[in-house]
Structure 1
Amino acid sequence: MNIKKHIPNTITLLNLFCGCIALVFVSKDQFEMAFFFVCLGIFLDFFDGFFARLFKVSGPLGLQLDSLADMVTSGVVPGFVMFKMMQSSSVYMSEGYLQFFPYLGFIITLGSCFRLAKFNIDTRQTDSFIGLPTPANALFILSLPLVKEYYSGESLMILEILTEKWVLLLISLFSAYILNAEIPLFSLKIKKFNFKDNALQVIFLISSILFLVFLDYLAIPLVIIFYVLLSVINNKFLKK
């Protein structure tokens, strides 16, 4: 029995397990614990591919398992988080058609599903991404209730923004769009050890560290927005 070939798939299933645990915590409005388990799942998601390449056991089964696990951890969980945020919004109305409004948060889940299916058949995304990867989008969405909780006392504007149902709907729609947009995002991999070839990666890394040091949870959505904006600038100007 070749144990090595089962290690990557086991790690993938642990990613799925983390996503299931995160769903339980979201159902209890324990968003910080849900965020932790999604981060752990994303960490495992990175290493299943690493070990598959290391042991040379990559195959179609692992590819399908990876997408199915990501669908839960980085697709269903952020959609459920947005559902809960819309449901607990201070302007949420429980009468009439608006009682169904929170279900629109699962637009994120639909966009994630489409993204993952498209990624499996897209041969262009071997070294970089086209559209925002589902793990990055999941971190963005899961950081929102934490920002709301930890910063609403300091900034009334943050509280108003993250409790406005139409803003949350726009975030959901933008999330589904940016997941599938034909926007090339620069690779975070460093292939050559010199600044000229890795200037974007170095700038992004230093900026991300500064964001995290000074802004805590607020840094997470800002880092992801900065990544997309820096990629757009790179595509429009720097490559030329």
Structure 2
Amino acid sequence: MSLKRHVPNFITILNLLCGAIATIFAVQGNLIMSALFVALGIFFDFFDGLAARALNVKSEIGLQLDSLADMITSGLVPGIVMYQLLVRALPGTVKPVSNWTDSGSWWEWDFPTLALVGLLIAAASGYRLAKFNIDDRQTDSFIGLPTPANALLILSLPLIMAFQPTPWAVELILNEWFLIGLTLVSCYMLNAEIPLFALKFSDWSFKVNKLRYFFLGFCLLMLILLQFIAIPLIIISYVILSIIFPGKKGDLEPSES
């Protein structure tokens, strides 16, 4: 049995491990390290599909494994991060976690209940990934916002607060109604019947991939000029460009990467 058929799955497992580490950091409230490992996981998520196409190896287990890894890295982690942002934004002081061995403490919680709204992102991501696995329409284009793009959108918020803490940006991000609204929009966009082009290359020709090359150049320019604030603008631009230039079906292996 050739070892090359296992290369894409190994890369996918690296994505899954990055998501598991990011989850630990997110639960601890270290949203910067969580964002770093999500970004690393998405990097692996992109290259597992690229490796599968380059090595011409396709498998059903690879498709399922890819979605399971995405559920952690690009579904669960953004949900926890949104929960943590809502905990910070909602009025009131969060108490220290009670000792679970204390009498009666197992049914108590010391966080704003409304913050759990953020976990809707994890639920919507799971639903999207389940639909994706049985949807034969999504080959070299997507229907609805891919989970990695949505994860980058959510994870950009703590990065903006940490590295570009302009007063208007911090005030907006720590507004509980903005966060709840963004959560609901995120859940809708993940499962919306909106065709979006994918950054998948069947070949490297400019004629076939001119929209992809233009978008990648636009992303690079925006990141240089605006840094982390560019990420939400890039995601919005991605949706707008996709609506103007809807993706066409092709013969590539389905993958959320």
TM-score bracket for the superposition, by shorter chain length: 0.7 to 0.9
Contact 2:164 2:228 in 1 (8 A): no
Larger RCO (CA within 8 A; separation ≥ 6):
2
* Partner Cα distance (1:92, 1:157) in 2: 22
In the TM superposition, what whole-angstrom CA distance separates every residue of 1:53-98 from its partner, at most 9, and x where no partner exists?
A: 3333311111111111110000000000000000111535769xx9
In the TM superposition, what whole-angstrom CA distance separates every residue of 1:138-185 from its partner, at most 9, and x where no partner exists?
A: 011001111122333x3x221221111111011011001111111111
State the partner residue of 1:27: 27
Displacement of 1:220 in angstroms is 1.0
Normalising by the residue count of structure 2, what TM-score does the alignment of the two structures yield?
0.82
* Partner Cα distance (1:14, 1:186) in 2: 25
Contact 1:136 1:224 in 2 (8 A): yes
* Partner Cα distance (2:10, 2:130) in 1: 21
* Partner Cα distance (1:214, 1:131) in 2: 28
Equivalent of 1:234, from 237, 240, 245? 245
State the partner residue of 2:86: 86
Displacement of 1:29 in angstroms is 2.5
Where do 5+ consecutive residues of structure 1 fail to align? 236-240
State the partner residue of 1:112: 125
State the partner residue of 1:211: 222
* Partner Cα distance (1:44, 1:201) in 2: 19
Give the direction of change, closer, same or farther, for the CA distance of 1:91–1:157 in structure 2 (3 Å limit): farther
Displacement of 1:42 in angstroms is 1.0
State the partner residue of 1:171: 182
Where do 5+ consecutive residues of structure 2 fail to align? 96-110, 247-257
How many residues get paired? 231
**SS where residue 58 of structure 1 aligns?**
coil
1:58 is the counterpart of 2:45:
no
Equivalent of 2:115, from 90, 102, 106? 102
1:128 is the counterpart of 2:141:
yes
* Partner Cα distance (2:217, 2:53) in 1: 29
2:81 partner letter: V
* Partner Cα distance (1:200, 1:56) in 2: 25
Give the direction of change, closer, same or farther, for the CA distance of 1:14–1:198 in structure 2 (3 Å limit): closer
* Partner Cα distance (2:19, 2:41) in 1: 7
Q: Which moved more, 1:122-131 or 1:22-31?
A: 22-31
Mapping of residues 145-164 of structure 1, within 5 Å: 145-152=158-165, 154=166, 156-164=167-175
Contact 1:19 1:77 in 2 (8 A): yes
Give the direction of change, closer, same or farther, for the CA distance of 1:204–1:53 in structure 2 (3 Å limit): closer
Normalising by the residue count of structure 1, what TM-score does the alignment of the two structures yield?
0.87
* Partner Cα distance (1:227, 1:83) in 2: 25
* Partner Cα distance (1:205, 1:50) in 2: 16
2:38 partner letter: V
Give the direction of change, closer, same or farther, for the CA distance of 1:207–1:47 in structure 2 (3 Å limit): closer
Give the direction of change, closer, same or farther, for the CA distance of 1:205–1:109 in structure 2 (3 Å limit): same
State the partner residue of 1:140: 153
Q: Which moved more, 1:32-41 or 1:181-190?
A: 181-190
1:221 is the counterpart of 2:232:
yes
**SS where residue 125 of structure 1 aligns?**
coil
Displacement of 1:208 in angstroms is 1.4
* Partner Cα distance (1:234, 1:53) in 2: 25
1:11 partner letter: I
1:16 partner letter: L
**SS where residue 129 of structure 1 aligns?**
strand
Identity of aligned residues (%): 51
1:36 partner letter: L
**SS where residue 88 of structure 1 aligns?**
helix
* Partner Cα distance (1:212, 1:6) in 2: 34
Give the direction of change, closer, same or farther, for the CA distance of 1:204–1:56 in structure 2 (3 Å limit): closer
State the partner residue of 1:12: 12
